[in-house]
């Protein structure tokens, strides 16, 4: 049983990718897939999850009952999730699925910065054979090299935080221009971005320049797949990278 956490900033396409990749795994791979919505504040989901946390924790109800604002309610919901983690976990065990896709909360920081995310990963590691994550980068947010570098930096930060392999994935590839300047090969892109940063002569540029040098050493994946969750494109490449994450051979090509 391979568990995949779908992580990323608000609106990057986590839920749409959960829907599309689950469908692809079922139809193309004949895999048994179990989808989980872990966002207690989700108003609308583009798919029907097999397990929905809102059945036991609904952020809007928490807000009403405790007189909290939207963020306060989400924080409280995460505390409640920590207490009731065994419930979704028992469903995962019983599902006997090949792949478990966990669609995480839109407010990424509320999930990541709290103990809940660490507890979840620890428990998933004890009940499933492999746990990894995707960090979804919104193609609409990488118009310039520093923005792209910053997103890659965040994906490493998430990897550090969760102590789990995380692969960055660019979603909404349908929004990328045809003459896109990135190669989506980290080695090539890092070198190019660093060259550009070096010429900016700003403290920010210099910092990022140095950080990128380190980043090259720690990036778990070299190739960044580009997908369009809405069009269902790029899923073969995505799947290959997800399988590679399982490989313990250390080959990052």
Ligand X SMILES: Nc1nc2c(ncn2[C@@H]2O[C@H](COP(=O)(O)OP(=O)(O)OP(=O)(O)O)[C@@H](O)[C@H]2O)c(=O)[nH]1
Sort 130 into a burial class: Cβ within 10 Å, 0-12 / 13-18 / 19+.
Answer: middle
| Residue 37 interacting with Mg ion (CB under 5 A) | no
| Residue 171 interacting with ligand X (CB under 6 A) | yes
Main-chain phi, psi angles of 143, to 5 degrees = -65, -30
| Residue 226 interacting with ligand X (CB under 6 A) | no
Helices (H) and strands (E) in the chain, counts: 10, 6
Site string for Mg ion, 174-213 (x = CB under 5 A): ----------------------------------------
| Residue 110 interacting with ligand X (CB under 6 A) | no
Shorter beta-carbon distance to ligand X: residue 40 or 106: 106
Dihedral, CA of residue 134, residue 139, residue 145 and residue 146, to nearest 10: -70
Token pair in block for residue 50: 């097999």
Judged by CB under 6 A, the stretch of 112-120, 143-151, 170-178, 189-197 that binds ligand X is 170-178
**Residue ranges in 3-22 that form contacts with Mg ion under rule CB under 5 A:** 14-15
Is the Cα torsion angle 130, 227, 38, 160 positive or negative in sign? Answer: positive
Report the relative pairing of strands 51-52 and 99-103 from DSSP bridges. Answer: unpaired
- Give least dist CB 187 to ligand X, A: 26
Alpha helix (H) ranges present in 84-202? 86-95, 108-112, 115-127, 145-162, 186-198
| Residue 15 interacting with ligand X (CB under 6 A) | yes
**Residue ranges in 89-108 that form contacts with ligand X under rule CB under 6 A:** 106
| Residue 13 interacting with ligand X (CB under 6 A) | yes
Token pair in block for residue 239: 């799947």
What does the DSSP assignment read for 205-251?
Answer: HHHHHHHHHHHHHH-S-SB--B-BTTTTBSHHHHHHHHHHHH--S--
Single out the residue of 76, 172, 194, 239 in contact with ligand X (rule: CB under 6 A). 172
Site string for ligand X, 33-72 (x = CB under 6 A): ------x---------------------------------
| Residue 11 interacting with ligand X (CB under 6 A) | yes
**Minimal CB distance residue for ligand X:** 106
Nearest to 84 by CA among 141, 19, 38: 38
Shorter beta-carbon distance to Mg ion: residue 6 or 154: 6
Using CB under 6 A, list all residues that contact ligand X: 8, 10-16, 39, 106, 171-172, 174-175, 228-230
Using CB under 5 A, list all residues that contact Mg ion: 14-15
């Amino acid at each position: 049983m391979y568990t995949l956490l779908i992580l990323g900033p608000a609106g990057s396409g986590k839920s749409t990718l959960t829907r599309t990749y689950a469908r692809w795994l079922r139809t193309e791979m004949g895999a048994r897939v179990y989808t989980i919505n872990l966002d207690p504040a989700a108003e609308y989901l583009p798919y029907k999850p097999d397990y929905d946390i809102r059945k036991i924790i609904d952020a809007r109800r928490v807000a009403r009952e405790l007189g909290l604002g939207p963020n306060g309610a989400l924080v409280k919901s995460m505390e409640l999730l920590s207490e009731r983690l065994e419930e979704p976990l028992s469903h995962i065990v019983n599902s006997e699925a090949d792949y478990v896709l966990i669609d995480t909360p839109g407010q990424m920081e509320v999930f990541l910065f709290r103990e809940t995310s660490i507890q979840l990963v620890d428990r998933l590691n004890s009940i499933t054979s492999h746990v990894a994550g995707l960090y979804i980068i919104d193609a609409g947010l990488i118009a310039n090299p520093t923005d792209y570098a910053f997103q890659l930096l965040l994906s490493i930060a998430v990897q550090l935080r969760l102590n789990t392999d995380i692969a960055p994935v660019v979603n909404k590839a349908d929004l990328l221009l045809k003459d896109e300047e990135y190669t989506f090969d980290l080695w090539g892109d890092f070198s190019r971005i660093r060259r550009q940063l070096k010429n900016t002569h700003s403290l920010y540029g210099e910092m990022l320049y140095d950080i990128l040098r380190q980043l090259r050493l720690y990036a778990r994946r070299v190739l960044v797949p580009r997908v369009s969750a809405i069009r269902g494109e790029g899923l073969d490449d995505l799947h290959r990278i997800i399988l590679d994450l399982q490989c313990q051979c250390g080959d990052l090509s």
